[in-house]
Chain A
Amino acid sequence: MAHSAGLFLVDRIMLVTIHEDINDSDIVELQDQLAVKVHAKGARGIVIDISALDIVDTFVGRIIAQLAGIGSILDAPTFVVGMRPAVAMTLVELGMTLPDVRTARSLGHALAQLRDSPTIG
Chain B
Amino acid sequence: MPMSFIQALIDSKGEEILEDWLATHHADGLTRRDLFSDAQGRQHAKTFFLALQSTLNRGADIDAFNLASDAWADVRAALAEVTRERVKRGVAPAEIAGFFLLLKYPLFDRLGAGAGTEEFSVVEQVSRLTRMIDAIAVQAMSLCIEERDRIIERQRTEMLEISTPVVDLWERVIAVPLVGTLDSVRAQEVMENTLGAIVDREADIVIVDITGVPTIDTEVAHHLLRTAAAIRLMGAECIISGISPRIAQTMVHLGVSTNGVTTRASLRAAVHDAFQRVGLTVVNAKA
Find out whether A and B make contact in their complex, taking CB atoms under 8 A apart as touching. yes
Q: Determine whether B232 belongs to the interface, using a CB cutoff of 8 Å to chain A.
A: yes
Q: CA separation between A79 and B235, bound complex, in Å?
A: 9
B231 partner residues in chain A, CB cutoff 8 A:
88
Asked if residues A105 and B191 are in contact (CB atoms below 8 Å), the reply is: no
Q: Determine whether A72 belongs to the interface, using a CB cutoff of 8 Å to chain B.
A: no
Choose one: B198, B199, B260; the contact of A99 (CB below 8 Å). B260
Interface of B is mostly: helix
Asked if residues B195 and A89 are in contact (CB atoms below 8 Å), the reply is: yes
Q: Determine whether B196 belongs to the interface, using a CB cutoff of 8 Å to chain A.
A: yes
| CB of A88 to closest CB in B, whole Å | 4
| CB of A50 to closest CB in B, whole Å | 10
A-B residue pair count with CB separations less than 8 angstroms: 54
Query: A103: nearest residue on chain B (CB-CB)?
Result: B235
Q: CA separation between A79 and B196, bound complex, in Å?
A: 21
Choose one: A84, A89, A98; the contact of B192 (CB below 8 Å). A89
Interface residues in A, total, Cβ within 8 A: 21
Q: Determine whether A91 belongs to the interface, using a CB cutoff of 8 Å to chain B.
A: yes
Asked if residues B235 and A106 are in contact (CB atoms below 8 Å), the reply is: yes
A89 partner residues in chain B, CB cutoff 8 A:
191-192, 195, 230
Q: Determine whether B226 belongs to the interface, using a CB cutoff of 8 Å to chain A.
A: yes
Asked if residues A109 and B195 are in contact (CB atoms below 8 Å), the reply is: no
Asked if residues A92 and B229 are in contact (CB atoms below 8 Å), the reply is: yes
A98 partner residues in chain B, CB cutoff 8 A:
233
Point out residues on B near A: beta carbons under 8 Å: 191-192, 195-196, 198-199, 202, 204, 226, 229-236, 260
With A84-B199, A93-B226, A109-B235 known, 4 other A-B pairs at CB within 8 A are A81-B235, A85-B199, A88-B230, A103-B234
